[in-house]
Structure formats: structure tokens, C-alpha cells
């Protein structure tokens, strides 16, 4: 049975890794900062060609960071790179299929509710309840947490298989759930905090200069990927 994920220890290990590898941290920080600053400073987010190059650049950034983090040699392996690309494509395809299924479910729900218009009182009651729900200040938090709960199971956990493929290990998507069983709630809390609450809070509190936002975003990127890989190591390298 997998051990319980030590949330605070994972965070401290990640910060310690970044602090003890300042040259590596500085190098990847520059690469991350340059890409984020370029996109924001020149307002290039609306260009499809630029965003495609940015996504490719980001993928290479994460791939190299994973390889360096686990000290794999050589840094670039054609076989591992292709296997990792296939694995992340499979994860994204699976996530898209699940999201499409959920969207279809909501569409069917609206179709089921529509005949209730023949019963004005019941329909009005449901409509009023819906309006109250979407206007509630708590609805946004519930939806936000729900989205990360969904992402935990359709992306964050399955993406451990991508890390395995990048470093030449068993890249079974099914095994990601086996290795992390009994830790789903802890993983949800960690991913919600690291990828949701932390960046949202920090970016809302800092001033507007593009260079500062880019610098903070670059550091958060390094912290996030380091925490993610530290979690991976906890489950896979025991």
C-alpha cells in the first residue's frame, strides 16, 4: 500500500532543491522569463503561430527540466523524447474525451429539463434555484475546486506517465493511479494549492509591470514543476 504523501515535506524538499541548485535554477529561470516576457510585452497571445511556437518551447523546457532533475544522460534521447511526446498526447486525448463526455452529459441534462416547461411552477422553481446558485459568491469557489478535482484525475495524475517516458521508465497511464492510490485527496489539495491558489494569490498581489509579472510567473513555473517531480519521485522511486 502506498505511503501517505507528506505535503509539507514535499514543499520543503522542492524549495531546498531549487536553493541548492542555484545555477540550474537561474538558467531555467532565464529561459522561462524570456518566453513569458516576450508573450506579454509584445501582446503576442492572439497570434496562433506564436502561441504554437510558445507551446513547443514550453514542452521542450519541461522535457529538459525533467531530464536534468533526474540527472539522466544523455540529456536528449530521441527514443525517450518520442515516447514522452506520444504519452502526453495520449493523456491530453484522454482528458479531451472525458471533457467531451461531461459536456455531452450537461447537454442531455438540459434536454431532460426542457420538457418541464410544460409545468410552469416546477420549471420556475428550478430556474430560480439555478439563478441563485450562479449568483452565490461561493459558486465560483466550488467550480474552481471542482475544475482542479477533475484536472487531478484527467491530467495531473496521468501525466506522471509522461515523466516516466521522458526518463526512460515504464510509462503506463494505468499504473499512475495504482501508485498514487489512497493519496487522491492529498494530491488534489497539493495541485489545487500549487497550481490554483498560489499563482492566483501571488499574481493578484504583485504590481503591474510586465517584467515583474514575468519574473514571478517564471519562478512559480520552476517551483510548480519541481514540486510535481518531487511528488513523482515519492511515488515512483521508493
What pLDDT, in 10s, does the model give residues 107-118? 887 777 777 666
- Centre a 10 Å sphere on the Cβ of residue 130 and count the other Cβ atoms it contains: 11
Confidence of residue 68 (pLDDT cuts 50, 70, 90): very high
Query: 181-210 burial string, b = 16+ CB within 10 Å, else e?
Result: eebeebbbbbbbebbeeebeeeeeeeeeee
Q: Is the pLDDT of residue 3 over 60?
A: yes
Q: How far apart are the C-alpha atoms of 97 and 90, rounded to whole Å?
A: 10
Instruction: Give the start-to-end residue ranges of the domains of the chain.
Output: 7-236
Task: Give the model's pLDDT for residue 198.
Answer: 84
Q: Is the pLDDT of residue 16 over 90?
A: yes
Is pLDDT larger for residue 25 or for residue 47? 25
Q: Is the pLDDT of residue 2 over 60?
A: no
Q: Is the pLDDT of residue 1 over 60?
A: no
- For residues 129 and 136, the answer to whether their CB atoms sit within 8 Å is no
Amino acid at each position: 500500500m502506498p505511503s501517505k504523501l507528506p505535503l509539507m515535506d514535499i514543499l520543503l524538499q522542492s524549495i531546498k532543491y531549487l536553493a541548492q541548485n542555484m545555477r540550474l535554477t537561474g538558467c531555467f529561470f532565464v529561459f522561462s522569463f524570456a518566453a513569458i516576457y516576450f508573450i506579454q510585452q509584445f501582446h503576442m497571445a492572439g497570434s496562433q503561430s506564436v502561441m504554437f511556437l510558445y507551446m513547443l518551447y514550453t514542452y521542450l523546457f519541461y522535457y529538459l527540466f525533467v531530464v536534468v532533475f533526474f540527472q539522466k544522460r544523455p540529456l536528449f534521447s530521441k527514443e525517450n523524447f518520442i515516447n514522452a511526446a506520444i504519452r502526453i498526447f495520449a493523456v491530453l486525448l484522454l482528458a479531451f474525451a472525458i471533457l467531451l463526455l461531461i459536456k455531452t452529459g450537461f447537454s442531455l441534462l438540459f434536454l431532460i429539463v426542457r420538457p418541464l416547461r410544460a409545468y410552469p411552477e416546477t420549471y420556475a422553481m428550478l430556474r430560480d434555484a439555478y439563478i441563485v446558485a450562479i449568483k452565490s459568491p461561493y459558486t465560483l469557489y466550488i467550480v474552481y475546486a471542482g475544475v482542479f478535482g477533475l484536472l487531478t484525475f484527467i491530467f495531473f495524475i496521468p501525466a506522471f506517465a509522461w515523466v516516466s517516458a521522458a526518463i526512460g521508465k515504464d510509462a503506463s497511464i494505468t499504473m499512475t493511479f495504482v501508485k498514487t492510490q489512497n493519496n487522491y485527496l492529498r494530491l488534489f489539495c497539493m495541485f489545487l494549492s500549487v497550481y490554483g491558489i498560489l499563482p492566483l494569490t501571488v499574481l493578484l498581489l504583485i504590481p503591474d509591470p510586465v517584467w515583474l509579472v514575468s519574473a514571478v510567473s517564471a519562478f512559480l513555473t520552476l517551483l510548480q514543476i519541481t514540486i510535481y517531480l518531487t511528488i513523482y519521485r515519492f511515488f515512483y522511486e521508493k
